[in-house]
Amino acid sequence: MREYIVLALHEGLPNGYTLVTPARGWALERRLRQLAQDSSNQRTLQSLVYIHGHRSGMRAPLPVDEVVRQAALLLDSGVLRLAQAPPREATVSPSFSVPQPACVPVPVEEPVWLRLQVVDDTTDVPIAGIQLRIQLDDRSEHQARTDSEGRIDLKGVPKGGADVLSDLEGATLDNTLALVRTGGPWSQQKPAKRGQGARVASAPRFLARVTQHRVIDGETLESVAEMYGLTVEELTRFNWNTTDAADIERHLILDVGCTRRGSRGQYVFTREDDPGILYVPRPEAVSRLPVEHSHILRVKRVPEPRHFLFSL
C-alpha cells in the first residue's frame, strides 16, 4: 500500500517523494468522498479545509459533502498538492525461495464504442460545438466536441462505463448550456438541408450547472467569488466576458443594479439591487454511462429567456 502526504503550495517536496496530479472536477470529488468514508481520512480532510480553505469563524464540524467539495477545490486550484511517498524497502530477506505462480495470460478484451448526442430539450435540434471531457474505465480521458449532428462518437474504448464531465475553460454565460436530463428517444432527424439545422460552432460551447446568486447587503465581487472558489476574473469573465475594470463597472450598474460604493471606492451590493443577480458556473457531470450504448444529453439555455407581460 502506497502512502501519500498533502503539501501546501509553499512547502518543499521531501526527498524521495513524487508529486501526483490528481483527477479534476467531479472525478476528484468522487475519489475524495470514497476516502472520507474512513474516519481518519475524514478528520485529515477536515483539518486541511479549516487551515487552508474554510473562512468561517465557527469551529463546528462541516458536513462531509462540504469538506469533500472544499478539499477538491483546494487540490484543483493548486493551493494544496499531493505527493506519493517512496516505496518502503524490505528489511528482512526470505530465508527460502518462494515459488512464483505460473503466468496466466490475461485475455484481451475487444474494444467497444460509445456515442453521445446533445440536443435541445424543447426542439430536439442537435447542438454543435459542445466541449466535453470523457473519462473511461482505463483512466484515459478524451477531450471532444459535438459535431454538426450534436454527436460525439468514440471507437475502441474499454468495456465498462464512462463519466461525462464539463470543461469550463473559456465558458461564459452566452456560450453555456444547462443539462436538463439524460435519455429520451435517439434523434432520428433527416439530414439537414444546406444552410439549415445545427452547424459546427466556430467557438466551443459549454455545459455547466449555473447558480443564480442573489446578492445581499455588504457583499462584493471579491466576496462572492471567494464564496464559490473562483477568482474575480473568472466570475466577471463568465458573467460578462470581460476583465476590464470600466466594462465591469458598467455591467454592475446596468446588469446587477449596483450603485453603492464602499469606503475604498469598490462597488458594494445591497438587497435593494435590482435584479441583483450574479451567475456562478459549477462543473457538470454525468457518471457511469455504459459503453456500447447511445446516450442523449438534453440541454437548455441559461438563463432562460424572460417573458414580459404588457397591459394596454
Domain spanning 112-187+199-208+282-301: CATH 3.40.640.10 = no
* Burial class of residue 18 (count of CB atoms within 10 Å of its CB; 0-12, 13-18, 19+): exposed
The predicted structure's pLDDT at residue 44: 77
Task: Tell me the domain boundaries of the chain.
Answer: 4-84, 112-187+199-208+282-301, 216-275
The predicted structure's pLDDT at residue 98: 57
The predicted structure's pLDDT at residue 5: 74
Averages of pLDDT over runs of 10 residues in the chain (312 residues) are 70 78 75 78 75 56 78 75 74 56 69 92 95 93 94 93 92 95 60 44 85 96 96 97 96 96 93 96 92 94 58 40
Q: How far apart are CA 92 and CA 269, in angstroms?
A: 67
The predicted structure's pLDDT at residue 175: 95
Residues 255 and 173: beta-carbon distance below 8 Å: no
Q: Which amino acid is at 288?
A: R
Characterize 186-195 residue by residue with b for buried, 16 or more Cβ atoms within 10 angstroms of its Cβ, and e for exposed: ebeeeeeeee
